Structure 1
């Protein structure tokens, strides 16, 4: 099978984890309220772990292997600041789709990077695809619950919308495959940008003792803390 079709199918499967998460949110319900709450928190924690593993195991290592310390750190910070700006904007327009926007905001750049990874024969391409799918599942779960609690759309329509959004993955992957395979610096920048955004999202939406209502700076502390560790690693590595 040509690599471009492998990239398309792989990103589509990773994207379909979003409607699968929505289906789980719709169907898995316990009679005991405490069990429902525990299940939701467990799924959220699983998503945080999957997001963190994508950053720590694939996106950042691949990014810092190509870029020098200052550009690498800059792109990671820009990613965090961009997600913070998106978070502020969504809060000001009072939309119920903040989880949905966050899910798409990291799915699209990751899919671009994944398409480029397949084009260059990167050994971590399938690992990255698996991690994208693992993080999309709980993100789809959370985004569905957020939308279903404040939306007039039926469950079937919401799940259909999530399925259609999965098509953004192959589109982004083909873009990365065709146009970025010869631009490793751009791929690295995309990976680090996504990493910064993911770190912001983890500590804004998932870590329980970080978020303050109508305050967006605390999660950037996590981004800057990660940047400090990354910079130290890059400066001390041979």
Structure 2
């Protein structure tokens, strides 16, 4: 398959995991209530594990290829700082679209990295797409639940917006495929920057939400998410 079609299909598929997660969140109801609560925390932790596997197995290893240790660390830290400032702004603005903005902050850099991976002939493109989808599914699930409980939007409206967000993936991927392929150092920089930001998001938003006192399934969800990413990485290599 031509790289262009591969990038479009993979980024779109990864992005559509967001409205799919929202759709599951809309219809999923489990009784008793304690089991539903534990499942939600486990799903959140699973997404965090998938994100960590993307950072550890794909983004950072590819990102450090063109930089010295000091410059790589600075790019990584700048990504974390940028996501922190975005988090502060969203917290102060108290807008109902903050969850959408937060998902885009993850999804766009990852889609850029995916498109660039295909442009550079990197076989990790398919693995990265799978990891993005694994992250987006629980993220869409939890973001839908939060938006539904804190805003007046109807379920179909929220799912529609999540579906529109999915289109940002192909757009970002195609931009990277055609315009960033000639600058592999820029691509590596984007990967490191995104890694720092995603790691900040994991420990600021995902890990605290996954904690549930006197329950042990949520932490195992994180382990399972990372393990799934590890299996995909080893199959690719």
Q: Which residue of 2 aligns with 1:214?
A: none
Q: What CA RMSD, in Å, does the superposition of the two structures yield over aligned residues?
A: 1.6
After TM superposition, what 4+ stretches of structure 1 lie above 3 angstroms from structure 2?
96-99
1:50 is aligned to 2:50: yes
* Structure with more contact order per residue of length (Cα contacts < 8 Å, sep ≥ 6): 2
Cα distance in 2 for partners of 1:120, 1:207 equals 33
Unaligned runs of 5+ in 2: 212-237
Higher helix share: 2
Q: CA offset at residue 153 of structure 1? A: 1.4
Mapping of residues 10-159 of structure 1, within 5 Å? 10-159=10-159
Q: CA offset at residue 65 of structure 1? A: 1.8
Give the TM-score normalised by the residue count of structure 2.
Answer: 0.86
Q: Does the CA contact (< 8 Å) of 2:120 and 2:184 recur in 1? A: no
The 3-state SS of whatever aligns with 1:208 is: helix
Q: CA offset at residue 167 of structure 1? A: 0.3
Unaligned runs of 5+ in 1: 212-238
Cα distance in 1 for partners of 2:161, 2:206 equals 24
Give the TM-score normalised by the residue count of structure 1.
Answer: 0.85
The 3-state SS of whatever aligns with 2:173 is: helix
Cα distance in 2 for partners of 1:134, 1:29 equals 21
**C-alpha distance after superposition, 1:155-202 (max 9, x if no partner):** 111111101110000000000001001111100010011100110001
Cα distance in 2 for partners of 1:139, 1:97 equals 14
- Count of residue pairs brought into register by the alignment: 211
Mapping of residues 171-210 of structure 1, within 5 Å? 171-208=171-208
Q: Does the CA contact (< 8 Å) of 1:96 and 1:146 recur in 2? A: no
